[in-house]
Structure 1
Amino acid sequence: MSGLETEKELAEEFVLAAFEKDDRRTIRRMLTSDALVYTPNVPGPGLDVDEFESQILDAFHGAFPDLSIAVESLVSEGATVVCRFTMTGTHEGVFRGIEPSGETVLVTGVVELRLTGSGIADVWQTTDSLALLEQIAAYDHENVRGERGS
């Protein structure tokens, strides 16, 4: 197996452990001790592993307990691996202040990992938040566009 295949497998394992299995032990094993997670969904500097778990994973797994991930593509170049995925789940818990809707959501996302000899050092993670909000709440993007143009 080539190094690129191994790096892609590592990235897929991380994405599945974090977003589908909620396997915190595996996540902590894969991340370096000083790893940071960057996401536009949480303002401020990068999150350490504790903050990633409490602010991102707890939010998703608490609201969508049946999360399922389909890895759509993996691209590896040097020490960087990018994973594009589709996430599905049922909105059964409060998510970012939005009460459970019972809706099944389908959301795309991307995770970029920077690998080092001791593990994953940096994670850049994003999901299509607008699509997610449109599926669980009465979010009308046409009105938002109209307000901006006014």
Structure 2
Amino acid sequence: MGVNENKEIVNRFINEFVNEGNEAVADQLLTEDYVRYDPDAPSGAQGAGEFKEMIRMFGEAFPDSEVKIEEMIGEGDLVVFRGTETGTHEGEFVGHEPTGETFEITGLAMHRVRDGQIAETWANWDMLGMMQQLGIVPTPEELTELSD
């Protein structure tokens, strides 16, 4: 497959699975041995089933969440994008009750596409920034105020 086809696969994965929650698309577009590397994942890596469960849980906590691809670059079997994610905290998230607060964070993700499917992902999103925007984790300014 060419770079443009690989970019379309990643674009479809983000729009139809991550944003819309269509797990049939994930089943179609992720290889059987898919691995997602993410410092925010409990073990640092996730298989397809664990990633689908994370997206399910995230969708329950942030039903209006959306990843917008800002820029996408492809070379060989790799597709990288820089994106923005937004959402409103309306359900339980990692043990925290809904705050009703919104967030907007940035992130990067690199995907390796093999034979029309995504085989690997390396992702890094500003989860600390999200937790601060939701009021779950204090910002540096709030910490300074507390110490005064």
- Which TM-score band (shorter chain)? 0.7 to 0.9
Aligned to 2:67: 69
Aligned to 2:134: 136
Q: Is the 8 A contact 2:111 2:118 kept in 1?
A: yes
Instruction: Report Cα offsets for 1:20-52 as digits up to 9, x if no partner.
Output: 111110011001111111111113252111111
What's the secondary structure of 2:46's corresponding residue? coil
What's the secondary structure of 1:10's corresponding residue? helix
Normalising by structure 1, report the TM-score.
Answer: 0.86
Contiguous gaps of at least 5 residues in structure 1: none
Distance 2:65 2:44 in 1: 27
Aligned to 1:115: 113
* Deviation at residue 89 of structure 1 after TM alignment: 1.2
Contiguous gaps of at least 5 residues in structure 2: none
Q: Is the 8 A contact 1:98 1:137 kept in 2?
A: no
* Deviation at residue 96 of structure 1 after TM alignment: 1.3
Q: Is the 8 A contact 1:84 1:110 kept in 2?
A: yes
Give the direction of change, closer, same or farther, for the CA distance of 1:82–1:136 in structure 2 (3 Å limit): same
Q: Is the 8 A contact 2:37 2:122 kept in 1?
A: yes
* Deviation at residue 76 of structure 1 after TM alignment: 0.6
* Deviation at residue 144 of structure 1 after TM alignment: 9.5
Aligned to 1:101: 99
Superposition CA RMSD, Å = 2.1
* Deviation at residue 61 of structure 1 after TM alignment: 0.6
What's the secondary structure of 1:27's corresponding residue? helix
* Identical residues among aligned pairs (%): 32
Distance 1:144 1:47 in 2: 34
Distance 2:64 2:42 in 1: 26
* Deviation at residue 69 of structure 1 after TM alignment: 2.3
Letter of the structure 1 residue corresponding to residue 78 of structure 2: T
Q: Is the 8 A contact 1:76 1:82 kept in 2?
A: yes
The alignment status of 1:26 with 2:21, answered yes or no, reads no
What's the secondary structure of 2:41's corresponding residue? coil
Q: Is the 8 A contact 1:12 1:83 kept in 2?
A: no
Distance 1:136 1:103 in 2: 5
